[in-house]
Amino acid sequence: MTTAPALLLKPGKERSLTRRHPWVYAAAIARIEGEPANGELVSVRSSDRRFLAWAAYSPESSIRARCWSYREADRIDAAWLRQRVTAAVHSRQELRETGTALRLVFGEADGLPGLVVDQYEDFLVVQIQAAGVDAHREALMDALCEATRCSNVFERSDPALRAREGLPDSGGLLRGKAPPPLVEIVEHGVRYGVDIRRGHKTGFYLDQRDNRQRAAHIVQQLRARGRPVRVLNCFCYTGGFSLAAACAGAASVLSIDSSADALAIAAANATRNGLDTAGTDGAPAPQLTWQCGDVFEQLRVLHEAHGSSGAFELIILDPPKFATNQHQIERAARAYKDINLSALRLLAPGGMLMSFSCSGAVEVDLFQKIVAGAVIDARVDCFLRARLGAGADHPTLVTHPEGEYLKGLLLERST
């Protein structure tokens, strides 16, 4: 280990590492001793050569090194990686009670920067998006199969992220059998068909698990007030929030997305849950409407049709990433305000708005200010009932706030 190439930092640049932030940027490096290859182990040292961390080197990335460990005595080998994988999988064991799909490894939060692993029934879906984990992919796959007792592994790495690391495109079946067109999972009693080969991210938005359950609880609470609950789910994808609300007893759910393919899966998921027929207890089937279109336009159409009469008791806004970097924040802010303003004008008094942003570049304080601006322009009064985030299987290191990409607000319109 002592013969590994070394990255020597500029004076003062060791501060982030002493605070256990796992990234070393190119601008922080004074010089490199040795000629490390892409993904190779390097020691990171202060300007006075004090050991700071073991890291994986990435010569083409602005994040020039991603830290494995801050302990000089550690040996970063197959056994060490197996221990990290095993610890990550075991730390989520209690969450398996919530269903049959789960995030098992979440990159930096689990000490495996650049590696994401989701499990859907007996299939593991991996994203290998940093040079260090790519260099150890076989050892990591061995460890994953051993820890989960699952032999089917499918890769869904993001080509753009791999390109930034100087890595070629990579994807497809790695081990075991190929996945079927849809893998059926269960989450809090709701069944979903997931396309792990071509769907968004690894096939499903697992990070919203806890928030889908919260939406179901909100429907139940609103029903207890004695009136039917009408739900609007914008950017609904394959119907995650829609089905959670419908199964909880919503009278109607209008779901809007720009993808006809996603809506077809959503409609099939409704059938999986028996939502297109009356219940055995005589309860009527919820009115489910799947609408293909641009959410911005459709929200304006709904406002023209309903005015400010309060057409919905629960509205969910879960848009795609509006800002991928700092240069896009201003444009993203306008988009977030637009959809939140439209939603608030459609929200019934006493109704609830769940509004999300998955743009890492838009920090939580800014997001709240944007939504507050929409509240002011809508001329309504709202209470902030909760701040929302990703589920417990998507932990965030306190020293790595960049991992907290999903943020949300739960607002209640006053009566």
Give the pair of three-digit tokens for residue 268: 């099939």
Rg of the chain over Cα atoms, rounded to whole angstroms, equals 23
Distance from C-alpha of 314 to C-alpha of 351, rounded to nearest angstrom: 6
How many Å from the N-terminal Cα to the C-terminal Cα in the chain? 65
Distance from C-alpha of 52 to C-alpha of 29, rounded to nearest angstrom: 13
How far apart, in Å, are the Cα atoms of 83 and each of 27, 117, 125, 364, 397? 32, 15, 20, 34, 19
Task: Tell me what pLDDT residue 415 has.
Answer: 85
Q: Which domains can be identified in the chain, with CATH numbers? A: 6-69 (2.30.130.10), 78-180 (3.30.750.80), 205-413 (3.40.50.150)
Distance from C-alpha of 156 to C-alpha of 168, rounded to nearest angstrom: 13
Residue 109: how many other CB atoms lie within 10 Å: 20
The structure's pTM equals: 0.93
Closest CA to 298 of 239, 376, 232, 370: 232
Task: Tell me what pLDDT residue 284 has.
Answer: 61
For 268, phi then psi, to 5°, come to -65, -35
The pLDDT tens digits for 65-92 are: 999 999 999 999 999 999 999 999 999 9
The pLDDT tens digits for 44-69 are: 999 999 999 999 999 999 999 999 99
- Residue 251 pLDDT exceeds 60: yes
| Average pLDDT, integer, range 271-279 | 78
The pLDDT tens digits for 202-222 are: 999 999 999 999 999 999 999
Percentage of residues in the chain with pLDDT exceeding 70?
Answer: 97
Distance from C-alpha of 288 to C-alpha of 251, rounded to nearest angstrom: 9
Residue 260: how many other CB atoms lie within 10 Å: 10
| Average pLDDT, integer, range 342-365 | 94
Query: How does residue 309 score in pLDDT terms, banded at 50, 70 and 90?
Result: low
Query: How does residue 224 score in pLDDT terms, banded at 50, 70 and 90?
Result: very high
Among candidate residues 67, 234, 358, 382, the one labeled active-site is: 358
- Residue 19 pLDDT exceeds 50: yes
67 in catalytic set: no
- The conformational region for residue 193 under phi > 0 = left, psi -120 to 50 = alpha, else beta, is beta
| Average pLDDT, integer, range 166-175 | 96
Task: Tell me what pLDDT residue 283 has.
Answer: 58
In the numeric block, the tokens 């890769």 are attached to 155
- Residue 280 pLDDT exceeds 90: no
For 127, phi then psi, to 5°, come to -125, 120
